[in-house]
Chain A
Amino acid sequence: MIHQSQTLRALLPGDTGAEGGQKTALAEIDASCRVPVLFFFISGLAWLLAGTVLALVASIKLHTPGFLAGWEWLTFSNVRTAHLNTVIYGFASQISVGVSVWLMCRLCRIPLPAPGLVTVANLFYNLGVTVGVAGILIGDSTAIEWLEMPRYATPILFFSYALIAVWTIITFRLRAERHLYVSQWYLLAAVLWFPWLYGTAQVMLLIEPVRGVVQAAVNWWFAHNVLGLWFTPIGLASIYYFIPKVIGRPIHSYYLSVLGFWSLALFYNWNGMHHLVGGPLPAWMITISIVASVMMLIPVITVAINHHFTMVGHFGKMRHSPTLRFIVFGAFSYTLASLQGVASALRSVSEVTHFTHHTIAHAHLGMYAFFTMVMFGAMYYILPRITQREWPSNGLISLHFWGVALGILLYVVPMSVMGFIQGTRLNDPTIRFLDVVQFTLPWLQLRTLAGLLLAAGHAAFVVNVGWLLVRMFEPYRKPVVRILTGEAESLAAGK
């Protein structure tokens, strides 16, 4: 490790190494976060269940087209689109907001200011998602990927995102801790970037649509940046916070975290046009996005070194900490998803993988194996602290982890392989199109199986969270089994 003593502070999440007095402060911060963060977590998990059911229906429909074919509002396209929007906007974004609100308070070291703002944001948010998903199911989908919610729903969501951005800036201005930890850079960036992206996309695609293929450019500038400038920064902020926190060791290198952050900020937002390789757009646009995609190797490798080297020698702790288990799984998936993304952006690879299930596999590697796993890990840490109760069931935690870990592996690996073969066959004009369709069927059935595993994991988690919430209303009892060995902070705080 290359750092000197003055940078040591920069390497630790702001609230680490707390003395007795600061413990109380942490408990105070956690208690102030309880209601707003729980709102976001509970509604997010409700949307996760809805999204999981929709995913299963869509998956079955793709290999058994007669399944539920009589209902127009349940066509494959509707269900698939409703799935994407519930898990992206209903689940993942809401958990993101919950996690970043808590992280922001902890790192700024102040009890949650303006709780009303966060709660109002949550109410509007859920209203927006409900209206949007209902709009999709009744056939009002815009058919613009990642922006399918009709234009009578998106301004509600925009308002909510804007409130979160305002709240974050207020918290940032009021911070008691002057030093900024790396997670804060990412969180601040995410909440400022997203309303800009979402606002631009709404104006240029829904309110006053631009002409011709400029729509496709705006669409993919937006949609790709939802991943890279909204979910990725929040995921990375969480990894940067929780790995050092749980293993009690500073991050590997401060300089690498600076490089990783600014190179992501510089290159990621130029990536979007790689979704249009071979498409009817000027070559300069697609080329510039391919170049920027390859440049993503810099932030990805930098962050990979920083995360994985911090973990070296501490992997044994994953056995005891569910947080660490999920977060490290997510951190490794981030590296893999990013490298797969760089490869798929190359013209020669895209020629094969574009238009196939390879892209679907890649999306799930990024959004699920990386981002969702990190969010699960974060919730395993945050929920006991804000409720001041231990997780009720160790068995359910194991069921959750193994269900989703095996489920997503069984999803991503076969679908990546299948997509590649599918693309090779599509590019061979001697193979009939319908034969390529037939080839995909057994693989699509395997995906339904993977989906069932994921669903089982989600059910286990939701039951455990529900049980925890019930416990919140019971008088505090010292837990008999301590699941979070090595993370005794919440116990101390709960006394």
Chain B
Amino acid sequence: MSYGPLLFLGILLTLASSWVGLVLMPHRQMGSLGQNTDTNTAAIYPMARSGEAQQGAEHYRSLGCVYCHTQQVRPEGYGSDLERGWGRRRTVSRDYIHDKTVMLGTMRTGPDLTNIGERQSDTAWHYRHLYNPQITSPGSIMPPHAFLFETRPIGAFGRSTNALVLEGAFAPRAGHEVVPTRRAEQLVAYLRSLKSSGDLPEAPVKKEEASK
């Protein structure tokens, strides 16, 4: 095997095969996947996110949430994703068409967040959890994200309406309050927008589940 051109050609052709097969073909197959309109109810799925939630997605990316949280629900009978209540059906390609960066994730140091907006819609819970996960989930190893909040003296008109309700060891100094920054608000808007359980022909939600 001392013939340079043959070696060169072989090197290029082998990689070209999977470049066509795993990059170009999927792009052709799924690159222009659109929304689905339910033939019975005329419901459109998936809907685009609000501007605030889209900005929150940028914080989710920037903060690297993907390194501990997945956004994919595996099919029935494969793992326990459905049994753990992480979704009502598996996720499919169409669920992700509006994501600027698709963050499927490869690690479950923390739970899956595909449907966190459905599983936990309480904004106050999310704020307290982000401020210090020990408040809502004692024993968690998620780092506190106190830098997404502002601790400030309580103003002349009393506590702000959006101040976090913090008790005991987590409470700020006397006369102070903890309020979410814009970033925290956008991030929580994004988390609350995470819902991937619309009925799709390729991934139907089971009837008895859907009627709940």
Contacts and interface: CB of A to CB of B under 8 A. Distances in A.
B143 A278 contact: no
Given A143-B66, A188-B11, A221-B22, A429 B102 contact: no
B124 interface: no
Interface in A116-146: 139-145
Interface of B: 1-2, 4, 7-8, 10-12, 14-15, 17-19, 21-23, 26-27, 29-33, 60-68, 70, 72, 74-75, 78-80, 83-84, 90-97, 99-111, 133, 137-147
Contact of B78 (A213, A229, A265, A351): A351
A212 B97 contact: yes
Interface stretch (A26-34, A327-335, A433-441, A450-458): A433-441
B17 A270 contact: yes
B93 A426 contact: no
Contact of A359 (B97, B107, B142): B107
22 contacts: A65-B140, A65-B143, A70-B146, A71-B147, A75-B64, A76-B64, A77-B64, A80-B67, A139-B63, A211-B30, A212-B96, A212-B97, A214-B26, A217-B23, A221-B18, A258-B1, A269-B15, A279-B91, A359-B107, A426-B80, A427-B79, A441-B141
A153 to B, nearest CB: 15
A434 B142 contact: no
A172 B4 contact: yes
Contacts of A278: 72, 74-75, 78-79
B62 A178 contact: no
B64 A143 contact: yes
Interface string A46-69: 000000000000000111011001
Nearest to B67: A77
Given A217-B23, A441-B141, A211 B33 contact: yes
A489 interface: no
- The majority secondary structure among interface residues of chain B is loop
A128 B59 CA distance: 24
| A interface bracket (residues with beta carbon within 8 Å of B) | 35 or more
Interface of A: 10, 61-63, 65-66, 69-72, 75-78, 80-81, 139-145, 172, 178-180, 185, 188-189, 192-193, 196-197, 200, 204, 209-218, 221, 225, 229, 258, 262, 265-266, 269-270, 272-273, 275-276, 278-282, 285, 288-289, 347, 351, 354-356, 359-360, 426-429, 433-434, 437-438, 441
A258 B3 CA distance: 13
B11 A265 contact: yes
A80 B30 CA distance: 32
Given A143-B101, A217-B26, A266-B14, A429 B84 contact: yes
Given A192-B11, A212-B93, A212-B97, A272 B22 contact: yes
Given A185-B7, A434-B140, A280 B104 contact: yes
A354 B72 CA distance: 12
Contacts of A141: 61-62, 64
B147 A437 contact: no
Contact of A76 (B17, B83, B111, B143): B143
- The majority secondary structure among interface residues of chain A is helix
A280 B95 contact: yes
Contact of A433 (B12, B29, B84, B102): B84
Given A266-B14, A427-B79, A437 B27 contact: no
Contacts of A279: 72, 74, 91, 104
A215 B96 CA distance: 10
A375 B68 CA distance: 31
B106 A355 contact: yes
Nearest to A266: B14
Given A80-B67, A434-B139, A213 B96 contact: yes
Contacts of B97: 211-212
> Ordered nearest first, which 7 A-B pairs have the shortest CB separation?
A77-B64, A429-B83, A278-B74, A355-B108, A269-B18, A265-B14, A143-B61
B101 A270 contact: no
Contacts of B137: 434
Given A69-B143, A143-B103, 18 more contacts: A66-B144, A77-B65, A80-B67, A143-B62, A143-B64, A180-B7, A192-B12, A212-B33, A212-B99, A213-B30, A217-B23, A218-B23, A221-B22, A278-B79, A355-B108, A359-B107, A427-B79, A427-B80
Nearest to A201: B23
Nearest to B138: A434
A272 B26 CA distance: 13
Looking at A189, A211, A216, A225, which has the most chain B CB atoms within 10 Å of its CB? A211
B61 A193 contact: no
A77 B67 CA distance: 6
A124 B186 CA distance: 37
B180 to A, nearest CB: 15
B93 A213 contact: yes
A433 B109 CA distance: 10
B2 A179 contact: yes
Given A269-B15, A269-B17, A434-B140, A217 B7 contact: no
Contact of B2 (A178, A212, A262): A178
A75 B101 contact: no
B106 A275 contact: yes
B8 A139 contact: no
A144 B90 CA distance: 22
B18 A355 contact: no
A215 B97 CA distance: 10
Nearest to A74: B143
